[in-house]
Each structure stands twice: as C-alpha cells, then as structure tokens.
Structure 1
Amino acid sequence: MYSCHRLVIALITVVYLIFIDSNIVQSIKVCRSISDYSLLNIAKKNCYDDPVTDLNISEIIRSWPGFTAEEHYLTTEDGYKVLVERSYSKITQKTPIIIVHGIAMSALGWVNRGNVSIARLLGELGYDVWMLNYRGTWYSKGHVNLTTNNPEYWKYNVNDLGNYDVRSTVRMVYEQTNRKAIYIGYSMGTTGFFIYSSTFPNEAKKYTKGMIGLAPAINFRGTKSVIRYTSPVWPILKRVIYSLWNGEILPGFSVLLKPLLASSAGIYTIQSVVNLIFGDDYAQMDPLRYPQFVTQLLDTAGVEVWSHYLQIYESGVFQNYDYGEEINLQKYGTSTPPKYDLQKIPVPISLFVGANDWLATPLNAEELYSGIQPSIRCGYHVVPYEKFSHTDFLVAKDLPTLLYKYLFEVIREHDEGRCEATTTRNG
C-alpha cells in the first residue's frame, strides 16, 4: 500500500512538472475588457502583450521615471535569507513606510498595478518605501544551511514570520534611516506585526511610529470562506504536500492557471473560485491587470503557516503555534500554546476593513480593535463600497478612490502624531 501511495504521488509530480514546463513560455496578453479575452479576439487591437509580466520587482520600479530600487537581503536570527525591496524617488517625507504582504503572495503586489501601484504613489508623495518578501516566497528562498528541497526549510509558522522576518525588517529600516517607520500590513502582513509587537513591545515602540492594518487577520471570526472546510482533511493534505513538494504549498501553481487567461470564460472561472474564498465582487475586476493578478501575485506558502492559521481558526484563539503537549512544555512552559497579548501592543493602530471580506471579516477586525488598548485605537475604517472583498485591497480597479485617498490621509495622521479613535463605515 505504501509503495502504491508513493507511485501515485510520483506520477502526479511528473504530470504537474510537465504541465508547468509546457505552459511557462506562453505569452500573457492583457485586454481592455473581460469580453475581449477570447481565442478569436486575442490578436485584435484591444489586446496586447504586457511587458511588465516578465519583469521582477526591481525592474518594474526602475521603469518608473525618477525612481530608484534597492535590494536589501537580510538574514534572520533563525537563518532565513529574505529580500526587503526599497523604492523611492525624491525623499521629502521624514517617515519611512514598511509594507508587508499577505499569504501566498510577495511584494510584487505593491508594484504591478502600473501608475496606481501603491509603492509608486507613495514614492511620488516623497515617501521612502520598504517592502518585505516573507521567507519561502519567490524572492526569499535562501537559508544559511537549508535548501527548499529540505522539508525542514518549510517547518516555519506564522509566529516565525512575525518574530523573525518582521522583527528583522523593522530593525533594519531603523538602522538604515535612523527613523521610526509606519508599518502597513495586508492580511498576514498584519498578523506578523501583531505577533511581533505583542512579543517585543519595547522594540516595536522604538522602531515603529504607527501601524495600519489592511484586512487584518487574527482569528477568522465569522469567516464564510470555503477554505474553512479544509480543516477536517488538513492532516491528509499536509502529508501529501510534504510528499509532493517537501512542505511548499503548490509551487508554480499560477502557471497551471495561465491557459484559462486566454478566454473570458476561463477568467470568470478563476474569479468564481476567488469569490468563494475571499468574497464575491465581479464589478471590481480590472481587465488590464487580471493576468498579473493570476500569474504574478499568486506565490507560495509553507505548509505549517496554514497549519497555524487553521489552529487559530479552530480554537478561536490568537495564540502561538501548537507543537503538541510535550514540545509545548519545552518551548512555552505550558501544555497549551500561550495567547498573543494584544494589550501589550504600544504602537498606534488604524484598521481598514472590507464589508464583504469573507476571510478577514469585519467581526474579526472588531474583536481585534476592541482587544487593543483604547489609547492606541486610531481609527476603524470600513471601505466605502459594500462589495469590497479581501482581494480588492490588492486588485480592485477603483483602489485610488475607494481606498488610497483615505489610506494616505491616515498615513499623514500617523506621520504627524495625530491619533483619533474614529469609526468610519461605508463612507
């Protein structure tokens, strides 16, 4: 039985790799409307090759007039080598900005929206922008001893992202600029900061000036996402992922979706699945950027990261990773993993929430906001569009008007030390 199991896994691996190799060279075209995506219309004037699809983060930034890109590689205390990308034009603002992405994506999400990329807009406002690529993503696969083919490489969890990757990044930015930073996190980027700042509150106060959470995630209270149904079968899926990819979840998966981008039917198929996971919103699909959303934005993640999130979801408690009673006693001194104490966070916090976010729900954000000290509550904002979903924070076609004009004002408030405990819902 065991040999049969290994044979099936080997066959799946071969088919998977052949499919990737056969599709990797397909060109990506973008069209002016979703209906223009058609095998019959793909050569017409409304569709064209998008050169940005083939560029990395630094190349995209350097294509912007007057911008400089710097690649800063740092080694965390537990041996992972991660890339922090720096982007700036003329730095006229005193406070640097740190932006940290969510699960299964990278910092590409901050630069691949053309003229409305958030890193570009912040740079044009004079900010010095630093973007972390979490360990395990395409740009941060290094380690002092391990390779990504070693299952041990992938045995990190969300706690490690906060207390190593985020911690190393905020310290490095402070050392490079000699200034406290404003931290902007999206989804898992917020989780990492909440873990770091509650575990090392004195450091967080020393190195950061404020925190802005986009689609903040702590316990998934009230989630409607279909991925909650992975919980019962996760032990089996976890073993399969270790057997197939050593602990890396679906490496190169975005390539499997490329053939669907040639037609509107394929695109709507992808979006239908996205809606079931993150919240339904067809109206904010951006036809000129959708192929980038699928092929560039979708990265990979470590299997224990999802194990940790499922543990938090099942328990309803924002807590450290559960290694089992014996190892918990060794690591924590208790049989169960300790909670992260949100009351210890000393940094002013503002939150932006999507009313239609099925993953990091408003209920989840409200519990977070009520759990931090009243003195650091600097605003709870619901994006003024009732269908605004989890992925809309990255790909909505109307981001400048729906989010950025409010976000940039909140950045100024944090920069100027103005902290007001306001609540704004749907405008």
Structure 2
Amino acid sequence: MAYTIPITIVIFLNLILISKAARNLNPIGNQDESSLVSQVGICSLLIETQGYMCEEHKVTTKDGYILSLQHIPGGRDGTKADKPPVLLQHGVLMDGGTWVLNSRDESLGFILADGGFDVWIANTRGTNFSRGHTSLSPSDPAYWEWSWDELVAYDLPASIRFVHDQTGQNLHYIGHSLGTLIAFSAFSKDQTLNMLRSAVLLSPIAYLGQMSSTLARAGADAFLGETMYWLGVHEFAPRGEAVAGLLSVICMNPGSDCSDLMTSFTGPNCCVDSSMTDRFLEHEPQSTSTKNMIHLAQMIRTGTITMYDYGNANDNERHYGQATPPVYDMGSIPKDFPMYLSYGGADELSDVQDVKTLLESVKDHDQDKLVVQYKEDYAHADFVFAVNAKEVVYDPVMTFFNMH
C-alpha cells in the first residue's frame, strides 16, 4: 500500500510539533509516582471494587526496573484457587488493567479467578504502576533506553519466576498482542519454559510485514518514531503533546481515517460494547518507550523478527558482535511445548497473512501440542474486550488449561 505523505513535509512538521512538545512535555507519566503507587494501584482501582481479594506485589528485574504485579487468589465468592497459577501479560500501550476492565462476567482475569485459577497480572516497565527503578527516574532519558528485547530478556522472566517462586508451581501463560511477541521470542531461546505448563497467545504477533492497519503502517513508513527519538523524546506517552502532534501528521494523510482511532489501528472490532470506549480511556492508553515503537516499526518495514536494529553495521557489531541484529527463530520453539493460538479475520495488527507466516514457521510442532483457533469476525481488541469472548475464546482456553 502506498502512502502519500511526502517525507520532507513529514519531517518538517515533526520538527515543529515535536521540538515544541519536547520543551513543554509534562504528561502524567513523567511525574514521580512513588507516593501514588503506594496508595492506589490496579487492585484498589479495578479489582477490589468488583468484590475480589487482591494483593499488590513488586518485582525487580535484573536491570533494575521495579514492576507491579497483581494477585487475585480466589473467586468472588471467597473460595480459594484450587487450580494452577496463570500469568496474564498485556499488549503495547496497555497495562494489566486490560484483563479486568470489562464486567465480572466478561473480563478474563475475573473469569479465571471464578473458574478456580490462581490469577497473576503482569505490568511492563513504563506503565503507570511499573515506573520504579533502583537508580533511575522516568524523567531520565536513560530510563527509556529499551525496546521489547528487554521485555524478553528481563521483564517476562522476572514476572514468571516471581509467580513460580511464590506459588511453588509451574504456571500457565496468557499473552495478548505484544504479550505474545515477547513470549514467542523468549520461547525461541528456550527461556522460562522450565517454569511454564502452557501458553495461550491471543492476537499472536511474531511477524508484522503484512500488517494492514493504515495508521500503524503510515507511522512506521514515515519513520515517525525515529524522528521523535532523534529530537530527544524518549518516552512515547500517548496522552502527551509529542504523540498527539505525530498523530495529527498521520491523520493528514488522505488514506488515514482518524474519526475512530481504535478501529483505524486495530481493525473493526465486532463485539466490543460502545460503553467500553469511555472506560478504556479512563485507564488506557499508557506509555512505552519510543525505542520500543521504533523496534515494532522496524518489524513492519522489514517483515522480519529480529533484535533491535541500531541502523548501521558498527553499532550492531558493538551490541551483538555481528553487523546485523540477531534473528528470533520461531522454528526453534520446542515442538512439545503446549500452545493455544487464537487469531481474528478482521484484525489489522495481527494480520491473517502474518499469522499464516507464523504458523508456517511452527508447522513441525507436535500436533497434539498446538491448538489454533480462528474467529473470522474478531479484530484486535475483541480478544480482550468482546462481550462474547467468554463463550468464544475463554471457555475453550480454560478447557485447554485443564488438559495441561
């Protein structure tokens, strides 16, 4: 698909918009929230209000990031979990609230808890309640020097290991979107698998080269993330001026429809209640690093799944010992590890053709260890917010868990 924004105009507009934003930027996310986190969190905001017990935990990664982790130890009726632990991992620009934003009967976190599972909810670095660090502040550019490579290397193993050590059990894993990408990448390096029973991957992402989301592809093709980074905007804060300015540039493209941003980014979600939009905007979207967005854009432009590309052979050599970034080989995922993949025909981020590329790369997986579900009318947000997701996706997922 061709895009009609002249690159010189894009860069010129970006220089005006982002330079102004970088000087004045003070989004909520840049505040020191240590006192706020001690008083409120996802437990008090979204879980206890629905009648569930909830515990807030802190996990420190090997590179010093302090992550929040919520634990729902039982069902709403007060019964204690009698099934294995399950770790839920959200997607990009989201946090753990993803899993408990809908009603009790529609949110996967609550459905699992009421089904007897021991529920744990992860939150990646940079989100509202995972902004701590042993030595850095979110106002320091160095705090944001990471991409999803670091989520693979540090955040995911730290969260899985914490739940494993706390419960003394191997756990099930559920990821959505970016939560699937970091899982696939970790599995391809045989990381964390010794602590897992199985993995459920909703809107699975490993390849992005055929992504059909007009807004996401326009941003990637125009190198908008790189422009932000070059101009010193290291935090990608969706509610901040810098991102708003970039979005306005994208929306000037005649091929972009910004009247419904969720649909424009994710595809036409069939089954998300319209009232969810307001509730969603009360808590999401949330910050990530600009470098993370650049890494995702690299995947869109190249169609490959590699580590972050530093843009030249010398820098790649310095970081990796080779001129090009190392590849995450999906074919290296152990063939006997149980996986459940669920994807949608209307999803414009986890595009059907990209999922087919992923499935081709794992074609030698043991047939009795791989379940693939296809929902023709589901788009990206349906897998976490659809009013009928319990019957369509979550009940089969719990049956899959019970088998493993």
Which range, TM-score by smaller chain?
Answer: 0.7 to 0.9
What do the CA deviations read for 1:177-210 (whole angstroms, capped 9, x no partner)?
11111110000001111122222x1x42310011
Secondary structure at the aligned position of 2:401 is classed as helix
Q: 1:80 to 1:15 in 2, by over 3 A?
A: closer
Q: Specify the code of the residue in structure 2 equivalent to 1:310.
A: A
1:112 corresponding residue in structure 2:
101
The gaps in structure 2 that reach 5 residues or longer are 1-13, 29-39, 245-256
CA distance in 1, matches of 2:120, 2:392: 24
Q: Distance in 2 between matches of 1:146 and 1:10?
A: 24
The C-alpha deviation readout for 1:248-285, integer Å capped at 9, x for no partner, is 333458xx9xxxxxxxxxxxx9772221211123x524
Q: CA deviation at 1:238?
A: 3.3
Contact 1:155/1:247 (<8 A) preserved: no
| Corresponding residue for residue 61 of structure 1 | 47
Residues 243 and 322 (structure 1), Cα distance of their counterparts in 2 relative to 1, 3 Å cut: closer
- Name the structure 2 match of 1:49: none
1:291-370 matches, cutoff 5 A: 291-323=278-310, 324-346=312-334, 347-370=337-360
Larger radius of gyration between Structure 1 and Structure 2: 1
Q: CA deviation at 1:287?
A: 3.1
Give secondary structure in 2 for the equivalent of 1:374. Answer: coil
User: What is the CA–CA distance in structure 1 between the aligned matches of 2:304 and 2:219, rounded to whole Å?
Assistant: 18
CA distance in 2, matches of 1:134, 1:355: 28
CA distance, structure 2, for counterparts of residue 101 and residue 181 of structure 1: 17
2:234·2:289 contact (CA, 8 Å) conserved in 1? no
Q: Is residue 88–residue 126 contact of structure 1 (8 Å, CA) maintained in 2?
A: no
Worse-superposed segment, 162-171 or 111-120:
111-120
Q: State the TM-score, normalized to the length of structure 2.
A: 0.80
Matched ranges for 1:25-424 at <5 A: 56-59=41-44, 60-65=46-51, 67-89=52-74, 90-115=79-104, 116-199=106-189, 201=190, 203-226=191-214, 227-234=216-223, 237-240=225-228, 243=231, 245-251=233-239, 272-281=260-269, 283-323=270-310, 324-346=312-334, 347-372=337-362, 373-375=364-366, 377-383=369-375, 386-413=376-403, 417=404
Q: TM-score, normalised by structure 1?
A: 0.76
Q: Is the 8 A contact 1:181 1:208 kept in 2?
A: yes
Give the Å deviation of 1:98: 0.6
- Counterpart residue type for residue 94 of structure 2: M
Q: Output the amino acid matched with 1:152.
A: A
3-state SS in 2 of match to 1:319: coil
CA contact under 8 A between 2:225 and 2:290: conserved in structure 1? Answer: no
- Secondary structure in 2 matching 1:58: helix
Taking the aligned partners of 1:287 and 1:276, their CA distance within structure 2 comes to: 15
State how many pairs are aligned. Answer: 356
After superposition, what is the alpha-carbon deviation per residue over 1:348-390, rounded to whole angstroms, capped at 9, x for unaligned? 211000111011112222222232342274211012xx33101
For 1:367 and 1:270, how far apart are their aligned partners in 2? 29
- State the Cα distance separating 1:148 from its structure 2 match: 1.1
Q: Indicate conservation of the 8 Å contact 2:41/2:129, yes or no.
A: no
Matching residue's letter, 1:110? W
Instruction: Return the offset for 1:12.
Output: 4.3
Aligned residues of 1:156 and 1:302 also touching (Cα < 8 A): yes
Equivalent residues of 2:88, 2:173 under 8 A apart = yes
Aligned to 1:46: none
Q: Secondary structure of the residue that 2:199 maps to in structure 1?
A: strand
Deviations 1:291-329 (A, max 9, x none): 112231311211111111111222211111112312322
Query: What is the root-mean-square deviation in Å for CA atoms of aligned residues?
Result: 2.7
